[in-house]
């Protein structure tokens, strides 16, 4: 959904996208680690690595989105105005992501299952389309 709103790209946007591609390419490793260790000694470290990977990706998504939707980009990178309802809805949805992933990371060091559970809940949340405020057009 996010990239459907981008009309054109520039070098910084491509570098931010590379950040995301790197993060997503790394996901299988901490996932396998947490799957192997959950319930065993070292599960908190594995869950922290898992949460840290998603925190890295969340920061990348936020940086990419904030950069792409900035009103300072001339000509704009988005197909929509930077203050449109859709853009505001995505801002609202992404705003708390890094903070929740940081909470998951912190809780992973105390209880691995709770940290992994928060990551799974966030995966479901971000899979849903952003909620638009106000009446639809």
Segments making up each domain of the chain, as ranges: 2-127
Question: pLDDT > 70: what percent of the chain?
Answer: 93
The pTM of the full predicted model, rounded to 2 decimals, is 0.87
Place of tokens 């904030």: 66
In angstroms, what is the C-alpha Rg of the chain? 17
Total Cβ atoms within 10 A of residue 108: 27
Q: How far apart are CA 25 and CA 94, in angstroms?
A: 21
Give 72-121 pLDDT, tens digit per residue. Answer: 888 999 999 888 888 888 888 888 899 999 999 999 999 999 999 999 99
């Amino acid at each position: 959904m996010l990239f459907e709103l981008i009309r054109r790209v520039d070098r910084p946007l491509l570098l931010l996208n590379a950040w995301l591609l790197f993060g997503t390419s790394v996901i299988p490793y901490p996932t396998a680690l947490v799957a192997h260790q959950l319930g065993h000694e070292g599960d908190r470290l594995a869950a922290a690595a898992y949460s840290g990977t998603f925190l890295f990706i969340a920061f990348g998504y936020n940086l990419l989105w904030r950069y792409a939707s900035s009103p300072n980009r001339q000509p704009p990178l988005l197909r929509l105005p930077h203050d449109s309802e859709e853009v505001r809805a995505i801002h609202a949805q992404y705003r708390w992501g890094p903070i929740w992933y940081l909470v998951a990371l912190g809780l992973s060091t105390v209880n691995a299952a709770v940290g992994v559970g928060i990551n799974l809940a966030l995966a479901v949340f971000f899979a849903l389309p952003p909620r638009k405020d106000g009446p639809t057009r």
